[in-house]
Structure 1
């Protein structure tokens, strides 16, 4: 075969060129948005609409073009289609929350190589920091002090929520340092066991600190948790008037809060992505990479191991603390069951599914897990329930839908689906859906039969830069 035959362009190569690909992506987003507005509860159009982010990310155009399209999608089109189906705003909120949590865990596991199975504890610290002080729970402390217990309303002003967002970051970072100090000498399985225990300690404390002083209200949880006052332009500005025209009725305060928390979660996620990206390329990020690759070599190059590990724990925990405060205000209810070991495992699944150390991969992994969890499997369960109530039969089998056992409800098999996905990922794409370049190179070198990754000049750069 000649060189001309080997390099012959594909007949569809023009579709991957910048201007053509951009036009096709814009047309795709416009068409899917139109059909979703016509039928906002259709699962197919929801999935196609959410796939728009992947198409935008895959464009060969410059970074500014991608960011512009992503901004239009997140700040204009999602609220637009969410006006017809508020569930879409809920999906968007949860995707942003768990993406930020996964990015925080990615710093600990993906950047620094420290396996943390108790990461949800920092999420709980942030949530309970606002739940205790932003609810009527403080009146219970007055009861212990002997003061009047007939107080009503909230003891603190709702505007303090913004202060507690930063307070949650600080408290969670302190908790991360407290976790990091005892485990500095541990690695691998031992580190995982200790962090798992830390997460359980926080959950058990939240479950039992209802006596002798009722601080967390025990297993009953804390409710209602105060929400911050809505900005004036949300209540009486053009946003509320536009939303009223779209839904054909006067919007409620709950509708505006759904939109408000969605925008807040998106803004916080963008900040988290920027911070994570800057940390990845910084001197500290290269130090984390050096520690992950070889602690002995990192120490030999002059990297302060204690400070580097503690910074990784504190930084990852800070992201979870901020999202914990936002979660408590959005749900107006906090209970210990929310912060179980399963939540930590789920966040770790998001990181592994997307790609360890890959920021866009982790965001994609979090999005897929959330969509599978609260949308796809739940929609299949509702559709199956509807078929059971009819008189039809299952194709090819002939068994009536009404006789199908309820044990086959798809929503009951979330863990099974996650397990199958992880097994398939480890077999066919062990580096994740969107792996980092370094992780892909390491797995490729191991697959070629080498004893381990070769430390060339490029790979030794993190060691040299971190020690500089």
Structure 2
């Protein structure tokens, strides 16, 4: 009789194949989602329709449907089934349900915007270990980059400079461009020189002087262009042509990355709590600037209306599919954000597996050891800051186009804390984890907790303890419970799990010999390196 083979200790058993279960779950949740967001059909269902319209029930069905994508990632299933669930959920079912209920389309865009922000902050906090509490500042830079130019605010700026040109003319533009070109060439030359030889005090100050010259040249050039364009203020009364949307996608990435470098240069020599406080303050500086620069940002009144991209062929396709005209731009932004998320996720994965990704992790684990191994600390941290900032910048622009209104209050400290909570809740360093964290936090804040308050509004509960008034308290309690019960996050990376549970996997080696455990003190335990006194005595054992 052959003995039964036992699995090797420590080896995980293979997961059961759940292809059929995944497909069935996808079909059922898709059907329920489409039914629960079809108003005419709900009216014909009577009491069942009233039940499905309940805010809590509706939020539950949306959450279950979005779990399709999570299960497709976690479960062992056939590749065709995972592809069916992913493409079917994101490209077909959600847009069709959003056609009947625009708020669902808006919610999906919000989840993906925050997922992209969480992926960007995950590079800074999760991989590089830099606690950034002012991350929303880069989000604001991207939003205002498009909001100022794609709204009537741009016409107001042109009128102001047309009435107050000062000494600015075409000569100013020539001087600004010349200064910009010369300083860029100087910075490139100094950079190449210091790459061959050790930097000296002269080259350091020369580079700083060239940096100030570059800023001055860009400022002169920008002012001259605005003054020369002031005659077109009337023709730009509603902002620039929406066709420039694609150009400004690239400009928002560049603007946010440049701001990230400018903020990072003076502060990234700090670490820990000091870095957190400095980034918090700089994030508030950006918000206060947006509040005080009335000419450009309209101050606390905000900028509105902000245009979105104009894509005629897409509008025709959306109309043929039954979408109303006011849904065209939302459907377009939905697919645009989905495409941007795919690009951002691909960049994150490639960076994580590259040399720079390993350098970020080395800095996070031990800066001194990383520097001893030749990792340039400031340069590597700046790359992390600029990369995370660029993701926030492009999403800020899309956010402005979706909302058609932005104000400084849209970018306060609570937004930064919210994005940070998504990263921590999902699992720092885990790309699927931070996306899951963004979805959970957004659903809690926009659907589940407001729905809970709305559903209990007529139950006679005192106003002081109504869940609708205690959303922040409930959300905070959920975060505290998560940190106590699962500190590594909902979907942590393997590296993070091993870091947090390293002590749990350690064994007391003294328990393997004949000697007693070190903690019991029952017998004398000898050092394994001590020679035995007798020929038959075991080294390290009891006498």
TM above 0.5, yes or no, is: yes
Q: Which residue of 275, 285, 292 maps to 2:364? A: 292
State the partner residue of 2:423: 351
Name the CA distance, whole Å, in 1 between partners of 2:108 and 2:125. Answer: 25
Contact 1:126–1:322 under 8 Å retained in 2 = yes
Q: 1:175 aligned to 2:259? A: yes
State the partner residue of 1:195: 279
State the partner residue of 1:109: 125
3-state DSSP of counterpart to 2:297 = coil
Does 407-416 or 333-342 show the bigger shift?
407-416
Name the CA distance, whole Å, in 2 between partners of 1:28 and 1:297. Answer: 49
- TM-superposed CA distance for 1:57, in Å, is 1.2
Name the CA distance, whole Å, in 1 between partners of 2:83 and 2:328. Answer: 26
TM-score by length of 1: 0.84
Q: 1:56 aligned to 2:72? A: yes
3-state DSSP of counterpart to 2:296 = coil
- TM-superposed CA distance for 1:125, in Å, is 0.2
Q: 1:431 aligned to 2:511? A: no
- Give the alignment's Cα RMSD to 1 decimal: 2.2
Name the CA distance, whole Å, in 1 between partners of 2:95 and 2:280. Answer: 38
State the partner residue of 1:90: 106
Name the CA distance, whole Å, in 1 between partners of 2:316 and 2:268. Answer: 53
Name the CA distance, whole Å, in 1 between partners of 2:480 and 2:464. Answer: 23
Q: 1:26 aligned to 2:110? A: no
- TM-superposed CA distance for 1:156, in Å, is 1.3
Q: 1:154 aligned to 2:238? A: yes
Q: Which has the larger radius of gyration?
A: 2
How many correspondences in the alignment? 414
Q: Which runs of 4+ in 1 moved over 6 A?
A: none
Does 63-72 or 74-83 show the bigger shift?
63-72
State the partner residue of 1:17: 16
Q: 1:43 aligned to 2:59? A: yes
Equivalent runs, 1:387-466 vs 2, <5 Å? 388=458, 401-402=459-460, 404-447=461-504
State the partner residue of 1:240: 319
- TM-superposed CA distance for 1:447, in Å, is 4.2
Name the CA distance, whole Å, in 2 between partners of 1:265 and 1:78. Answer: 14
Give the direction of change, closer, same or farther, for the CA distance of 1:56–1:184 in structure 2 (3 Å limit): same
Q: 1:374 aligned to 2:446? A: yes
Contact 1:33–1:81 under 8 Å retained in 2 = no
- TM-superposed CA distance for 1:6, in Å, is 7.3
Equivalent runs, 1:120-135 vs 2, <5 Å? 120-135=136-151
Name the CA distance, whole Å, in 2 between partners of 1:5 and 1:420. Answer: 47
Contact 1:288–1:309 under 8 Å retained in 2 = yes
Give the direction of change, closer, same or farther, for the CA distance of 1:278–1:64 in structure 2 (3 Å limit): farther
Listed one character per residue, the Cα deviations across residues 308-355 of structure 1 (whole Å, up to 9, x for unaligned) are 000000000000000001011111111000100000000000000000
Listed one character per residue, the Cα deviations across residues 132-183 of structure 1 (whole Å, up to 9, x for unaligned) are 1111111112232226776664241101111111110001001111111111
Name the CA distance, whole Å, in 2 between partners of 1:65 and 1:170. Answer: 39
Equivalent runs, 1:191-270 vs 2, <5 Å? 191-210=275-294, 214-232=295-313, 234-237=314-317, 239-242=318-321, 244=322, 251-270=323-342
Listed one character per residue, the Cα deviations across residues 1-32 of structure 1 (whole Å, up to 9, x for unaligned) are xx95976xxxxx99x533xx112111111112
Gaps of 5+ in 1: 8-12, 245-250, 389-400, 451-468
Does 427-436 or 30-39 show the bigger shift?
30-39
Name the CA distance, whole Å, in 1 between partners of 2:277 and 2:409. Answer: 20
Gaps of 5+ in 2: 8-12, 38-52, 164-229, 508-543
Q: Which residue of 398, 412, 417 maps to 1:326? A: 398
3-state DSSP of counterpart to 1:224 = coil
State the partner residue of 1:397: none
Name the CA distance, whole Å, in 1 between partners of 2:28 and 2:479. Answer: 33
TM-score by length of 2: 0.73
